Amino acid sequence: MERKMKTITFSGSMTFLNEMKEIKKELEEKGFTVLLPDEGGFLGKENETEISVETQRKNSLTGTLKKIKQSDAVLVVDETKNNIENYIGANTFLEMGVTYAPGKKIFLWNDFPSQPNTLEIKAMEPVVLCGDVMEVIV
């Protein structure tokens, strides 16, 4: 039986990049194509100017949105950041909306966060994986 969903783009804070790479390996072993977020907007702070930061973030967002367009689904890696469990930041929330609008599937790696936009996140009806890649495959 062939899987319908083949390409998944990851979304989430770049703080979670190592976690994304680990999950990526597991999904690729299951036959999925996995696209990581564009890292271009997240260079070291010491050499950045305000304009270059904005340009880098714009380029990163544009690259990630192109990947979402190519994908069947988005997997949000939502770990603890800034003392917020299952953190979903502004760009990730935007990427979820872009995924939701055409009816693509959204997965949350962990449970819903306790943030002001939690109701809006729930309204997009993401599948909560509870850290289990097998839930993507089923």
**Residue 1 clears pLDDT 50, i.e. is over it:** no
The answer regarding whether domain 7-137 maps to CATH 3.90.1150.10 reads no
Region 121-126 average pLDDT: 98
Residue 69: what pLDDT? 97
- Domain layout of the chain by residue ranges: 7-137
Place of tokens 């976690």: 19
Question: What is the rounded end-to-end Cα distance, in angstroms, of the chain?
Answer: 12
Residue 7: what pLDDT? 97
Distance between CA atoms of 91 and 82, rounded to whole angstroms?
A: 16
Give the model's confidence band at 23: pLDDT under 50 very low, under 70 low, under 90 confident, else very high: very high
Tell me the pTM. 0.87
Residue 57: what pLDDT? 84
Query: Hey, how many other C-beta atoms are within 10 angstroms of the C-beta on 7?
Result: 14
Specify the pairing of strand 33-35 against strand 127-128. Answer: unpaired
Residue 83: what pLDDT? 94
Bridge partner residues of 7 (DSSP)? 33
